Amino acid sequence: MAEAFARAYGADVMEAHSAGLAPAPVIMPHTRAVLAEKNLRLDGQFPKSLETVAREPFDLVVNMSGRKLPAPPGRVIDWPVADPVGQPEQTYRAVAAQIEDLVMRLILKLRSQTGGI
């Protein structure tokens, strides 16, 4: 969800890539439905592991796992976001709203800084 919001709203200040510690085998149907309600499409996107993106340099890593990550190169910020997998669609909506708010705050912060990320 965070990658979809970041790509849709903040492409002028960031290049977003999403990966997880234990990625799901597919994008969950509720995720697709909730993002479709916001006219966000996930064409070409799929759950990726950290190993998939580990070789790329990042200026900022957003950790939503709730677990302490080994410090990768660059900055790490932690967002306490619940994993909605296995929950009803209204939980996905609540999590999407939280993530959208966090992503928008980050985008606004980056836009206020020189150069962005």
Does 75 score more than 90 pLDDT? no
117 assigned to some structural domain: no
The predicted model scores a pTM of 0.88
Residues of the chain with pLDDT > 90, as a percent, come to 56
- What are the beta bridge partners of residue 61? 76
pLDDT at 114: 64
For 43, other C-beta atoms within 10 Å of its C-beta total: 4
Q: What is the CATH number of the domain that holds 8?
A: 3.40.50.2300
69 assigned to some structural domain: yes
Say which amino acid occupies 61: V
Average pLDDT over residues 92-115: 93
Average pLDDT over residues 2-25: 91
**Is the CB of residue 82 less than 8 Å from the CB of residue 96?**
no
The total number of structural domains that make up the chain: 1
Residue 75, H or E segment: strand 75-78
Residue range of the domain that includes 49? 2-112
Q: Which of 8-22, 42-56, 70-84 has the highest mean pLDDT?
A: 8-22
- What are the beta bridge partners of residue 78? 63
